[in-house]
Amino acid sequence: MNTLSQTKELFRRAEAVCFDVDSTVIKEEGIDELAKFCGVGDAVREMTRKAMGGSMTFKKALTERLSIIRCSREQVNKLITDHPPQLTPGIKELVEHLHEHNIRVFLISGGFRCIVEHVATQLNIPLHHVYANRLKFYFNGEYAGFDETQPTAESGGKGKVISMLKEQYGFKTVVMIGDGATDLEACPPASAFIGFGGNVIRTQVKERSSWYVTSFEELIKELEKI
């Protein structure tokens, strides 16, 4: 594992920074919000906790949670309109700073592309820099499952996306930032991992992070040293 000073240095000279979305870039867990909106909040929240704690494979947890929610296209659109995702304080400024330093920003999420794209637009992140799961609907708008071929549908999927980005863009230094076990697992192939506890603190992630922050201010201050 990198030391604190090594992680800070890698962050300052990163060519790309990848963010988790739920409980990192936004305050909530998108799947929990969708479940609550569809009236099955409690059952799904418990399963999310298990998935984030690493006691169930990500794909199994996603499949089971979605089979409980069974949201229609209309419900998803209504959720985004009525309860748009709440950005975590400081994220907009941090992304602006990264862009000013010509550092590419990517969103890699185990959540849903339709919600994550909305977040990306608010942060001026190009939509081809978004990697997330795609919900599938029948022609009448009813839930038809999710695209199981997306790397983000699997445990270890975030690492696969980072490997792909390194190959595609020739990045040498990629930093992953997130709150959960799936984010931590993405390093390696990420050059460094920064744990984020501004919305929820997950003990195992905090204990295994050489740099753990609870505010994006700390990262903005580090960029100002460049």
Residues annotated as catalytic are: 20, 22
Residue 66, Cα to own-chain centre: how many angstroms?
Answer: 18
Find out whether 119 and 132 touch, Cβ atoms under 8 Å.
Answer: no
Structure tokens at 11: 């962050």
DSSP secondary structure string, 187-223? Answer: TTTSSEEEEE-SS---HHHHHT-SSEES-THHHHHHH
Helix 30-37, helix 113-122: angle, nearest 10: 120
Structure tokens at 210: 């050489």
Report the run of H or E that residue 194 belongs to, with start and end: strand 192-196
Structure tokens at 53: 């704690």
